[in-house]
A and B are shown apart, each in its own frame.
Chain A
Amino acid sequence: MSITIRIPTPLRKLTAGADEVAVEGSNVSEVIDNLEAQHNGLKARLCDDAGEIRRFVNVYVNDEDVRFLQGLKTAIKDGDELSIVPAIAGGC
C-alpha cells in the first residue's frame, strides 16, 4: 500500500526539503515506522517515548484526525493521503 504524506514546514529539514513523501504501510503506525526508516529522526518528532502520537501533533487521514478514528491502528488504503499538522497554539 503506497500513500502520500504531507510534511509541514518545520519538519522539512528532515526530509531534505520535500513537502510530500511516498511511503508504504497498511496502518498509521506502519506508515510512521517506514517514514522513520526513510528519514531518520522524524518519528521522535511525531511520537512520544511511549510511541503515542504527541499531543500537539495532528495526523489526518484524508482530512480526518486519526484521534477520532482508530489512532495509530487506523487502516490505510492505496491512494489515501496522510497529513501531519502541528496544532495551532494560541488563542483567546
Chain B
Amino acid sequence: MTESIVRALKCRECGEEYPVQPTHVCEFCFGPLEVVYDYEKLEGNFTRKLIESRPQNMWRYRELLPIDGEPTVGAENGFTPLVRAERLAAALGVKELYIKNDSVCSPTLSFKDRVVSVALSKAVEFGFTTVACASTGNLAGSVAANAAAAGLESYVFIPHDLEQGKVLGAGIFGTKIIGINGTYDDVNRLCSEVAGKYGWAFVNVNIRPFYAEGSKTYGYEIMEQLGWKAPKHVVVPMASGSLCTKIDKSINEFIKLGLIEDNSTAIYGAQATGCSPISKAVKENTDLIHPVRPDTIAKSLAIGNPADGYYAHRVMRDTGGWAEDVNDEEIVAAMKLLAETEGIFTETAGGVTVGVAKKLIEQGRIPRDESIVLCITGNGLKTQEAIVDAIEKPRIIQSNLKDFDALAAADGVQV
C-alpha cells in the first residue's frame, strides 16, 4: 500500500494549517479548511500506466484522495461512462461534445456516491460509527446506502418538500430520515448545531474537507477517458459550488503531476434562475454572493447561501469561463432534449447543465468548434414530478389489431 501524501488541513483564507482531524473551519478566521498534499512525494511514481493497471473505479486515483488506508466504504464506486454525444452536438450546433454520465453512478445514481465514499471511509478511519448529512436529496440517498453497506448508523436531514424519489431513495436503506420545515439553508444551519453537539460524522459539515475531495475523481475520469487530455470547456451544475472548484483542482493536479498538458480549460457554472446566487455574482462581476430564498424545480441545486460560492466564482473568472442560469421551463426542455438525443434520463440538475450549455453556446461564450464536456450528475427517475406533465401519456387501446391499425393510420404509418 502506498503512503498517504496528505500534509494537513489548511485554511483557504489565512493559510493556517491544522492536523488531519474531523474539523472544517479555521479557528482563527472562520475560513473553510481544505486538504493539502505533498505532491513531490509522488514524483515519477504516479503514472498513467499505474492508474490504467488498476480496477475501473474512483479509487484508481487513490493517492490523490485523503484517506490513509484502503477504502472501507464504496470501494467499487465511480468510473462512469464518458459518452461522445453526436446527436446532442448536432442539436446544439457544436463539433465535439461529451457527456460525463453520473446519472448511472453506482450505487445511488448521482455523483454524490464519490464524495460519500471518501467521507465515510475517512469517518471510519476517525473511528465514527454514526454518520449524517444535510442534503438537497442526492446526498441523503448516497449516505444512507453507503452507510448501510458499511454497517454504519445514519441520520439524514432534508428539506420537508423534496421529491418522492429522493425521499424513498434514502428511506429504503433504513436510515433515520428527518424532514425539516424550511429550506436547505435552514437544514444546514441546524446540522451545524447538531454536528457540534452529537459528535457524529456529518459528511458535509465536520468531514467536509475530506468529502469534497471525492468530487475530484469526476474530473480525473473525464481526463483519463478523453485519452489523458483536459477538454477546452466544461459545464458544471452548482449548488454549494464545491464540484465546480474540485473539477478545477483535479485538472491542476493532473497538470502538476505531468499526467496531462495544460489545455487552458475554461470552467462554466450552471444554476437554476430560481436559485442563482453564484451565476448572478459572475454575471455582475462581483465577489459578493447575495443569499437568496430558492424557488425552482431543480431542488438538488437549491442552496440559497452557497458555501463555496466565492471560490467557484474565482474558478470561473480565472479559467476564462462564465456562468448562466435557466428557468423551470428551460430545465424541462433540456431534460427532454438530452433524453431524446442521447437516451440519457437525467434529473433537473442535468437539465440545468444542458440548458445552460445551450444558452452559453448560443451567446457565443462557448465556441462551437472546441471540445466541450457536460457534467450530468444525477438521474431523472428521482425527479419525476418535474416532468410528469411534460411527457406524452400512453394512448390506451383494447388488445385487438383493429384498434391499433386505427391508431397507426392516424399516425400516418404505412403498412
Contact = CB atoms under 8 A, between A and B. Distances in A.
A79 interface: no
Interface in A34-92: 45, 48, 54-57, 67-68, 86-92
Contact of A87 (B30, B134, B202): B30
Interface in A12-36: none
A54 B31 contact: yes
Given A54-B13, A55-B13, A90 B205 contact: yes
A86 B193 CA distance: 13
B307 interface: yes
Given A90-B204, A91-B303, A92-B139, A57 B192 contact: no
B29 A90 contact: no
Contacts of B307: 87-92
Q: Is the interface of B mostly helix, strand, loop or mixed?
A: loop
A60 B307 CA distance: 18
Contacts of B139: 92
Contacts of B184: 91
Contacts, number: 75
Given A55-B13, A56-B13, A68-B290, A89 B28 contact: no
A34 B152 CA distance: 50
**For this complex, into which size category does the number of interface residues on chain B fall?**
35 or more
B240 A57 contact: no
Contact of B30 (A56, A68, A92): A56
Interface string B45-66: 0000000000000000000000
Interface string B238-258: 011010000000000000000
A48 B307 CA distance: 19
Contact of A45 (B28, B192, B208): B28
B310 interface: yes
Contacts of B240: 91-92
B28 A90 contact: no
A44 to B, nearest CB: 8
B22 interface: no
A88 B307 CA distance: 8
A69 B37 CA distance: 40
Interface in B170-189: 184, 188-189
A86 B134 CA distance: 19
Given A57-B30, A67-B288, A68-B290, A90 B306 contact: no
Contacts of A67: 288
B136 interface: yes
Interface of B: 13-14, 24-32, 134-136, 139, 184, 188-189, 191-192, 202, 204-205, 208, 239-240, 242, 288, 290, 303, 305-308, 310
Interface of A: 10, 45, 48, 54-57, 67-68, 86-92
| 6 closest Cβ pairs, A-B complex | A91-B240, A91-B307, A56-B30, A92-B240, A86-B30, A90-B205
